[in-house]
Chains A and B, each alone.
Chain A
């Protein structure tokens, strides 16, 4: 047979229906529908909605909560799950992202949940695959299911997001959680304030969505806030940026004293994993207003909703 010059890989018309690549392009009504669907999901009651479906978790980065909650969510819907980690797979032998994706597609998976250190990696897969791709965190870009579970968590305590004052404190620049959260909270009508040192929160961050406020004072950021989201801080990163740790702690660490400036019944959130004594104190992490552990639990119904939308009849 003569060798043809036909390209082996062709771009599809766009991401398959049900893909979730980010919050930026997700319309507000889709967000609301997903949150509504999540409320109807019961992780303790296995439903056969996705029986016979195979969900593949492709993780190029370590993960505890995202990975397990996607697994549990898929299984609670009756789907089978497989896990592929970059270490110990053909990725280590130099296989490209797309070839890995095609291989998994050929094996017969129905959806791929991917976490990747490179921003945009899920978009690349979605542009070449005919099955839904769900972004479980890509580089510094987005982590859409985290933002959804954060909104879900807030809505368990507050009537609506619209009109709430949400403050995000810490390393916004490197945070995919922050980018997704900013998009989502803004789309649902919250007023978002960002707080951190210029190295971790450049002025350019204000261009992400309209109406974002940036402040360098944590007191100012926290005062009157209904929700305070603290981001994880990496010690090595501070060292690389030549930021003094004691200085950061004194200016930006969330303490009980700072929390007292917030609105009554304000929520303290953190996407985890937390570094006690760094971005927040031990006491703050466990205070009455903290919903950090609840966020983890809420990851399951939210990811059930995302998978149901991807593979089921969906909303």
Chain B
């Protein structure tokens, strides 16, 4: 992190503070000092001097955004992204913390690599919380040493992109999860049902002559894992990037049964459907794929009814040679850090009337709870001085060419969005300032 050595205090004045943990939605001043939230009070009540002041009138002041699901591509795939470039994109998107997935080269399955990712030499601009592999080399057979990974600083384990298919492996993982209070993140896809598939199964896949993934390939794994999680009191199961109505039903069932089941959805699954996929544009190819309009509506409804715990981007940068090729051969994944807030506000708040407070919750306290990130996701006094300041009404056009990510694989190039990050503050320092 690029920090000066001198501690600094920063006063954020006159913004609308939205914090669901502190139950605040009011105009307040926020004083950050020594990397913590020092005070939060109604306007002009704070006394004492601050080294720096930030005028936030007309803006929303929120706890720093947390992205539970990004691919920073290091170690080993720095041609796609580096921890430095990925976190620069995160800062520009308002994220003060990102959780990076372990499908790197080599796979992040040892405490040594977890430590490596967290080293200051990586040049991260925001907090990086590594998610380690759940099985050795993410091959699904032998569990990694969860305790050692947790001690090294991993916040969860996952074989993202390669789901844990074996019931016994998943059962053992959840048992250990319960013992040491460590979340298992599952990419819910029965890959035995999705071989050679490159998009959602439906009218679009038939029309384009491409093999489609059924809804069931997601729902069967969600269902099974929710069942397994209920076997162990305290086991923590988090379902990544849910995309289907059926998958959500299984999560609801688990939550009703008081299992510790949480889930995230992505902005792109709320914004697009498979019908938007025209002429084999690979910037619409990701996994899980864009689903049907009914699925999209179910996701939006689940945001409102509380089923969803977090919005995560699944930021998945790829180089042109992996994307500008035949659709079926192209890599899955799109970038997402810089468009997340704009899409959430445009699609969920403006178009579907989801309250702004709920959206803020899904970027802050929601994800903090999922991974138990203490002192984050809130601006309560004593919390980490991570703050995201945004203009919920600002209209702007996203230009992929100006992205801070090393990659450009996004379907949202040229999109008009409402809601833009104005400043991102990590540990009391402004790491990004918009225009």
A121: interface (CB < 8 Å): yes
**7 residue pairs, one from A and one from B, having the closest CB atoms:** A141-B209, A120-B280, A140-B209, A207-B203, A118-B326, A119-B209, A120-B327
A290: interface (CB < 8 Å): no
List, in ascending order, chain A residues with CB within 8 A of B327's CB: 118-120, 124
Q: What is the chain B residue whose CB lies nearest that of A142?
A: B209
B328: interface (CB < 8 Å): yes
Q: Are A204 and B203 in contact (CB under 8 A)?
A: yes
A127: interface (CB < 8 Å): yes
Q: Are A204 and B206 in contact (CB under 8 A)?
A: yes
A116 to B321, CA, bound (A): 19
Q: Are A208 and B280 in contact (CB under 8 A)?
A: no
List, in ascending order, chain B residues with CB within 8 A of A138's CB: 209
Q: Are A98 and B324 in contact (CB under 8 A)?
A: yes
List, in ascending order, chain B residues with CB within 8 A of A128's CB: 324
A139: interface (CB < 8 Å): yes
29 CB-based A-B contacts, threshold 8 Å: A96-B325, A98-B325, A116-B326, A118-B329, A119-B210, A119-B280, A119-B328, A120-B208, A120-B209, A120-B328, A124-B280, A124-B324, A124-B326, A124-B327, A127-B279, A128-B324, A139-B209, A139-B328, A140-B209, A140-B210, A142-B209, A173-B206, A179-B209, A204-B202, A204-B206, A207-B206, A207-B207, A208-B203, A208-B206
A176: interface (CB < 8 Å): yes
A interface size (C-beta, 8 A) = 28
List, in ascending order, chain A residues with CB within 8 A of B328's CB: 118-120, 139
B320: interface (CB < 8 Å): yes
A52: interface (CB < 8 Å): no
Interface range on chain B (Cβ under 8 Å from partner): 10 to 19
**Restricting to A112-129, which residues have a CB under 8 Å from any CB of B?**
116, 118-121, 123-124, 127-128
A98 to B324, CA, bound (A): 8
A7: interface (CB < 8 Å): yes
Known A119-B280, A123-B279; judge A176-B326 contact (CB<8 A): no
A141 to B210, CA, bound (A): 7
Q: What is the chain B residue whose CB lies nearest that of A25?
A: B279
A198: interface (CB < 8 Å): no
**Restricting to B202-221, which residues have a CB under 8 Å from any CB of A?**
202-203, 206-210
Q: Are A208 and B207 in contact (CB under 8 A)?
A: yes
Question: In the assembled complex, how far is the CB of residue A122 from the closest CB belonging to chain B, in whole angstroms?
Answer: 10
Interface centre among B203, B206, B325 (most CB of A within 10 A): B206
List, in ascending order, chain A residues with CB within 8 A of B209's CB: 119-120, 138-142, 176, 179
Q: What is the chain B residue whose CB lies nearest that of A121?
A: B326
* Further pairs besides A120-B279, A124-B324, A208-B203: 16, Cβ < 8 Å: A7-B320, A118-B326, A119-B210, A120-B209, A120-B328, A123-B279, A123-B280, A127-B279, A139-B210, A139-B328, A204-B202, A204-B203, A204-B206, A205-B206, A208-B206, A208-B207
Known A7-B320, A119-B280; judge A124-B206 contact (CB<8 A): no
List, in ascending order, chain A residues with CB within 8 A of B202's CB: 204
Q: Are A119 and B206 in contact (CB under 8 A)?
A: no
List, in ascending order, chain A residues with CB within 8 A of B320's CB: 7, 9
